[in-house]
Amino acid sequence: MSATLTFKISQSFTEFSKEEWNLLVPSDSVFQEFEFLSGLENTGCIGNGDWIPVIVSARQEGVLKGVLPAYLRSDSYGEYIFDFQWANAFHRAGIPYYPKLTVSVPFTPVTGNRILLSADLGDSEKDSLSSLLLQKLLEFGKEKETSSVHILFCKENEQKLGILNSFAPRLSHQYHWFNKGFASFEDFLSTLVKDRRKTIRQERRKISESGLMIQTLTGDQITEEHAHIFFQFYQDTHSKKWGQAYLNRKFFLEMHRNFRHRLLLVLANDTSGKPLGGSWNVFRDGFIFGRYWGALEHVPNLHFECCYYRLIDFAIEHKMERVEAGAQGEHKFLRGYEAVPMYSLHHIYNEQGRAAIESYLEREIVMERENISAYNSQSPIKSLREGN
């Protein structure tokens, strides 16, 4: 890079403009867009004692060329790449594990670029700037006496770059749906084994015969009332399964105001028009990301219809490439989602702790590769079974 770069550590997204930030965000990393991240901060979901932004930025003659948004953490909740055992081991050894630094999208286990770079940089310039941003973050973490730096759900190329910058790799998996040029949902079903085709058709038929009214809403079809409805769904789900919710009503309203051009809502109403349940999703260009599901009443198969089948319908209709439905869930796998690797990176400052964790990660990677292969060898997708 010809001109001198200027680096800065910021602790608020308000120090950036939406326009300059979003120029750096690729299509498949929609949760790194300014409206989503600043929305979390503006509504108090992050920054109040935890998930404190630590944003490493690089400018060249005043122009933003790269950012690495990280967060200072006081626990590990809301990350979905689990390190609680590591924290316990540090505690038993009398070594503080918190605070730590985490590079991810808060409460959002989706893949995407964790290092955001200007598109006008060449490949070697991108690698060079990425390394500089990582080193600045490592220096900050050491200065603040954090135990570690973690980069979660990153791209495979970022993992390779991280290894060159003293990070240890980690492997996990999720289930994603891929569009193989399908002309219709039935075309997709034809790629599955017979028993799964039958089950999925039965599930969809039962929902069709239930009398429920199901809408798929995007953009200006989404009203402020929908923000309140989906917050109610979100609250209900968390009260049943996970306890305290990470997000608040203000966040859902903020997303309606500033981010609805990226929202894809599937809403089920009963015959009187009363909302029963639905899924809150995000999309951009060729990619859909399932996020929140909730239902005020239990309706068999409604979860599958709202969270999987309607998203597949939308992806096929709009010739989209991929649907990511979030963490966990073998039920995704049974409905035509493939097991795919998820990449993360970890830097531990304490030498003894680093040696122990890196040894563990080496063994875990071997097991995860075997797991992914084993899952896909039993996939309902015929071509995956035949390929294993």
pLDDT of residue 242: 54
CA distance linking residue 311 with residue 278, whole number of Å: 12
**274: its two tokens:** 């009363």
**Mean pLDDT on 70-93:** 95
CA distance linking residue 101 with residue 137, whole number of Å: 9
**Mean pLDDT on 237-265:** 87
**Mean pLDDT on 39-66:** 96
Percentage of the chain surpassing pLDDT 90? 93
Rounded to the nearest 10 degrees, the angle between the axes of helix 34-42 and helix 249-259 is 150
pLDDT digits (tens, 9 = 90+) for 272-322: 999 999 999 999 999 999 999 999 999 999 999 999 999 999 999 999 999
pLDDT digits (tens, 9 = 90+) for 154-185: 999 999 999 999 999 999 999 999 999 999 99
Token pair 């495979």: residue? 156
**Phi/psi class of residue 202: alpha, beta or left (left: φ > 0; alpha: ψ in -120 to 50)?**
alpha
pLDDT of residue 244: 66
**348: its two tokens:** 């531990």
Q: What angle do CA 238, 242, 244 make, to 5 degrees?
A: 70
Q: What angle do CA 275, 276, 282 make, to 5 degrees?
A: 80
Rounded to the nearest 10 degrees, the angle between the axes of helix 224-241 and helix 249-259 is 140
Alpha carbons within 13 angstroms on the beta-carbon side of residue 193 total 14
**Mean pLDDT on 34-52:** 96
CA distance linking residue 379 with residue 22, whole number of Å: 37
Q: Given pLDDT bands bounded at 50, 70 and 90, which one contains residue 327?
A: confident
**235: its two tokens:** 């609250």
Q: What domains sit in the chain, N to C, each tagged with a CATH number?
A: 5-173+341-377 (3.40.630.30), 180-320 (3.40.630.30)
pLDDT of residue 184: 98
Please give the DSSP secondary-structure letter assigned to residue 284.
E
| Range with lowest mean pLDDT among 66-75, 166-175, 197-206, 230-239 | 230-239
Instruction: Give 307-339 as a DSSP string.
Output: IIIHHHHHHHHTT--EEE--S--HHHHTTTPEE
pLDDT of residue 1: 56
DSSP-H helix ranges across the chain: 18-22, 34-42, 84-92, 123-143, 156-164, 185-189, 194-209, 224-241, 249-259, 302-304, 310-317, 330-333, 351-377, 382-387
pTM of the model: 0.96
Q: pLDDT at residue 238 above 70?
A: no
pLDDT of residue 317: 98
CA distance linking residue 88 with residue 90, whole number of Å: 5
**Mean pLDDT on 89-104:** 96
Q: pLDDT at residue 325 above 90?
A: no
Q: pLDDT at residue 48 above 60?
A: yes
Instruction: Give 27-69 as a DSSP string.
Output: TT-GGGSHHHHHHHHHTTSSSSSSSEEEEEEEEETTEEEEEEE
Alpha carbons within 13 angstroms on the beta-carbon side of residue 213 total 8
pLDDT of residue 237: 74
Calculate the CA 135 to chain-centre distance.
24
For residue 77, give every residue at least 6 positions away whose Cβ sits within 8 Å of its Cβ, in sequence order, or none: none
Name the amino acid, one letter, at 36. Answer: F
- Please give the mean pLDDT across all residues of the chain: 95
First to last CA, the chain: 45
Q: pLDDT at residue 354 above 60?
A: yes
Contact of 334 with 177, CB cutoff 8 Å: no
pLDDT of residue 386: 79
Q: pLDDT at residue 241 above 70?
A: no
Strands 287-295 and 322-324 come out as parallel
